[in-house]
């Protein structure tokens, strides 16, 4: 199954709908667009081995560009819309991009990109002259190119712990662009997605991220109508499910938290009866949040654990989760291994570094040291997460290895504290980090976004301490509460803890210099 096949059988079936504007593209139109783009790449001499970057907000063009790249063999490099011009330029230079496709939405950063990457060709949605993407596509015929090749995409890490790194997938083993992908099998057999073209799939997250990109393209392979939100808004997400009779969707825990914190009258206002499956990942979901979502939406929620590297996946449906609360499921792709510091596998119930064993593993672009660091001597690969399995083989995530706080020689995992904080009625979001401490090495700091900044202050801090006390030992209790109107969180749910840690490190260095 592939959009090419659906374009032949159901050319007038909606392939893409933008949730806000209602702009719609059919499978026939998307096929024409993808063919024109493939021809444009060939005209510019681009093919297998060439990298083309895409910096674009959620628009009707995004997935059509992805499908064009998929049939002309290029490596597409999606770039986060949150980045500054120097950060974007780093990815462009590191990936050796031959072309940047962007839009007028980025007018403020484009001059900086031009300065950092002189001579890099650009095509813009809304551009003019030689840089107009629409004009360039219109000049190409809509017939398929003669030498269709499987295209891929190289995703860059969020850069939450340092410079982002490109996850370079293994080369394709089959040049049939309509080949069945592993994610298709996981979607149908694991998540129960329909393969008859009846699905209406909602994507509320930015398309440059691995999960929305992977699941949206898989939905297209299955002939679904993909409804893309321009930007996430909790109430509008519910309204969109009702309006388009959405059957399937994909979320991150922060989406759940924001929807649950809507007024109950608002939450009950919308008809969600069409909604049959809601998958989520990106971060472990706090148990009370997940339980509340199942009570609200019913047992339609499916959680999985995976990464951009594509080395493995676990999955758990609502019924199994209720019997194993907090679990992210059993492995359905790759073989899971939990290893101690010596690399040996540890018993059930013991935390360790998680590895996946898989026949196909990626590399980190231009960074053999990072690739080697992620590899086990037996050829397994880790995403850098800590967790354990129970006696039944269900996986539980503890935290990322890089987020661990060591205070007075004790290992503290911030996720436990964050999961508690976000369940408080007055907390919208929370990040827990380790900040420099002369006495204990690191101290626990809770950076909290209140529901209402007017509540920020000593009274709320005292309330939160009382709230945490029954569940946390004294060593885990935050030594400092820092209230912020906003946390540095990606729209895809990833939290930029590095920015917060660097801020506290600079403060500590400045205080040392003044002492």
Task: Evaluate if residue 254 carries a pLDDT over 90.
Answer: no
Task: Note the pLDDT tens digit of each residue in 220-253.
Answer: 999 999 999 999 999 999 999 999 999 999 998 8
The answer to whether residue 314 scores a pLDDT higher than 60 is yes
Query: Does residue 356 contact residue 323 with C-beta atoms inside 8 Å?
Result: no
404-514 homologous superfamily: ANL, C-terminal domain (3.30.300.30)
What is the pLDDT averaged over residues 171-177?
83
- Main-chain phi, psi angles of 325, to 5 degrees: -60, 135
- CB of 238 closer than 8 Å to CB of 202: no
**CATH for the stretch 27-170:** 3.40.50.980
Band of pLDDT at residue 99, cut at 50, 70 and 90: very high
Q: Which two tokens stand for residue 331?
A: 């492995």
Each domain of the chain, given as residue ranges in start order, spans 27-170, 404-514
Model confidence at 176, in pLDDT bands (50, 70, 90)? confident
Reported as a pLDDT band with limits 50, 70 and 90, residue 340 is very high
Instruction: Kindly tell me if the per-residue pLDDT of 363 is higher than 80.
Output: yes
Long-range CB contacts (< 8 A, 24+ apart) of 330-337? 330/393, 330/394, 330/395, 331/356, 331/395, 332/186, 332/189, 332/190, 333/182, 333/186, 333/306, 333/358, 334/358, 336/312, 336/389, 336/395, 337/376, 337/380
Mean of pLDDT values over 430-444 = 85
pLDDT above 90 covers a percentage of the chain that reads 72
In 3D space, the residue among 88, 68, 489, 119 whose CA is nearest the CA of residue 78 turns out to be: 88
Instruction: Report the mean per-residue pLDDT for the chain.
Output: 92
pLDDT at 147 exceeding the cut of 80: yes
161 pLDDT more than 60: no
Please compute the mean of the pLDDT values over residues 277-305 and round it to a whole number. 92
Kindly tell me if the per-residue pLDDT of 491 is higher than 90: no
- Looking at residue 472, what is its pLDDT? 85
pLDDT band at 267 (very low <50, low <70, confident <90, very high): very high
pLDDT of residue 515: 59
Q: Is the pLDDT of residue 137 over 70?
A: yes
pLDDT band at residue 49 under the 50/70/90 scheme: confident
Q: Which two tokens stand for residue 292?
A: 């509340």
Q: What is the pTM of this model?
A: 0.85
Confidence of residue 164 (pLDDT cuts 50, 70, 90): confident
Tokens for 121?
């060709």
Look at residue 163 in the predicted model and tell me its pLDDT.
Answer: 76
What mean pLDDT is predicted for residues 408-429?
A: 86
pLDDT of residue 509 exceeding 80: no
pLDDT for 64 equals: 98
């Amino acid at each position: 199954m592939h959009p090419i096949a659906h374009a032949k059988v159901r050319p007038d079936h909606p392939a893409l709908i933008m949730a806000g504007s209602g702009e719609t593209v059919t499978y026939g139109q998307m096929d024409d667009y993808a063919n024109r783009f493939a021809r444009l790449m060939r005209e510019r001499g681009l093919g297998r081995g060439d990298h083309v970057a895409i910096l674009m907000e959620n628009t009707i063009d995004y997935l059509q560009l992805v499908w064009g790249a998929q049939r002309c063999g290029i490596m597409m490099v999606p770039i986060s819309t949150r980045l500054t011009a120097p950060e974007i330029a780093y990815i462009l230079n590191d990936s050796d991009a031959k072309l940047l496709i962007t839009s007028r939405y980025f007018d403020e950063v484009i001059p900086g990109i031009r300065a950092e990457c002189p001579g890099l060709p650009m095509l813009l949605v809304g551009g003019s002259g030689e840089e107009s993407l629409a004009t360039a596509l219109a000049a190409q015929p809509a017939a398929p190119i003669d030498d269709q090749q499987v295209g891929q995409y190289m995703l860059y890490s969020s850069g939450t712990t340092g410079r982002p790194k490109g996850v370079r997938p293994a080369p394709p083993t089959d040049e049939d662009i309509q080949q069945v992908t592993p994610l298709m099998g996981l979607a149908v057999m694991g998540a129960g997605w329909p393969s008859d073209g009846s699905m209406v799939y909602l994507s509320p997250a930015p398309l440059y991220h691995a999960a929305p990109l992977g699941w949206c393209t898989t939905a297209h392979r299955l002939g679904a109508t993909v409804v893309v939100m321009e930007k996430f808004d909790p109430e509008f997400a519910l309204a969109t499910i009702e309006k388009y009779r959405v059957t399937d969707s994909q979320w991150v825990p922060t989406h759940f938290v924001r929807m649950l914190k809507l007024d109950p009258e608002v939450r009950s206002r919308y008809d969600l009866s069409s909604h049959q499956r809601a998958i989520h990942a990106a971060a472990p979901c706090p148990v009370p949040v997940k339980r509340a979502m199942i009570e609200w939406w019913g047992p339609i929620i499916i959680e999985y654990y995976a990464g951009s590297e594509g080395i493995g996946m676990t999955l758990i449906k609502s019924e199994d989760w209720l019997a194993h609360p907090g679990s992210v499921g059993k492995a359905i792709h790759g073989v899971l291994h939990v290893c101690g510091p010596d690399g040996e596998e540890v018993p059930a119930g013991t935390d360790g570094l998680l590895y996946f064993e898989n026949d196909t593993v990626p590399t980190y672009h231009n960074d053999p040291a990072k690739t080697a660091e992620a590899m086990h001597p037996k050829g397994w690969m880790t995403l850098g997460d800590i967790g354990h399995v129970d006696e039944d083989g269900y996986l539980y995530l503890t935290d990322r290895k890089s987020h661990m706080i060591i205070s007075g020689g004790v290992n503290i995992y911030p996720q436990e504290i964050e999961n508690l904080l976000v369940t408080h009625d007055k907390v919208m979001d929370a990040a827990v980090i380790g900040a420099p401490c002369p006495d204990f090495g690191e101290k626990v700091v809770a950076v909290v976004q209140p529901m209402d900044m007017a509540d920020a202050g000593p009274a709320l801090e005292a309330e939160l301490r009382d709230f945490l006390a029954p569940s946390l030992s004294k060593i885990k209790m935050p030594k400092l509460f820092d209230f912020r109107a906003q946390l540095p969180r990606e729209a895809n749910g990833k939290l930029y803890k590095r920015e917060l840690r660097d801020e506290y490190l600079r403060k500590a260095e400045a205080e040392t210099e003044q002492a």
